[in-house]
Amino acid sequence: MLKSVFIPINRAGWIFIAIFAALTVVAAYFNEPAGWIGVVLTIWCTYFFRDPDRFTPTREGLVISPADGVVQMIQEAVPPSELEMGDQLLNRVAIFMNVFDVHVNRVPIAGIITKLSYRPGKFFNASLDKASELNERQSVRLTLPNKTEIAFVQIAGLVARRIKCDIQEEQSVIAGQRFGLIRFGSRVDVYLPREVPILVTVGQRTIAGETVLADLQAKEQSRSGEVR
């Protein structure tokens, strides 16, 4: 029960929580209503940086969601040019995170990080298609043991102003491993081979480190869904 109440906070958030708390104290000293507003904002900041443990499926071939959020779009697209993966169309699954979602990102599948590339850019609403090309982003190319390559991209949003990525090239990673976060509200795209069926649908909510986006071993067709 205590674990459900006292959720761990990502260490990157403590400095911001401290700043919000300090400003709240100053605001309350000069104006009580402003102080209460500060309390609400400090609580929200603490909530934003929560970092709960997740139970990641471990079967080989499963591609796990790298982000909490809603599947914004599923479409064919060319991966970011800076990853040097060619101009072949891949399946892109875009997951949009609002400011109330957990923003800690997780590796979708085990492999070796073979390319990292940061690209500055604009700060359009991350739910827009053009955000994939024009917004600030951190792109990652991951090579699986069977030499299959996938990519995942952290994309800054309208209010996001900082992408944090804690992995390095040539690093071995496992599915569900924490690798970074984005402040505050953003998107993560996952690029998969076209022949891989997608097991989520547009509008579906995903949980980082838990929701299965795709199965490299599956023979079924990509799934469809509807609101019920």
pLDDT tens per residue across span 133-179: 777 889 999 999 999 999 999 988 766 567 888 999 999 999 999 99
Structural domain contains residue 220: no
Contacts of 207 (CB under 8 A, 6+ apart): 54, 65, 68
**Dihedral sign (CA 115, 119, 124, 128):** negative
What's the rounded mean pLDDT across residues 42-60? 87
Task: List the CATH number of the domain containing 185.
Answer: 2.70.70
Report d(CA 8, CA 57) in Å as an integer: 21
State the catalytic residues.
Answer: 186
Distances (CA, A) of 73 to 150, 151, 206: 17, 16, 13
Residue 136 located in a structural domain:
yes
Q: How far apart are CA 172 and CA 174, in angstroms?
A: 7
Is the model's pLDDT at 125 over the cut of 70? Answer: no
pTM here is 0.85
Same domain, 81 and 127: yes
The verdict on 80 and 157 lying in the same domain is yes
| Together in a domain, 199 and 100 | yes
Domain carrying residue 195: 62-215
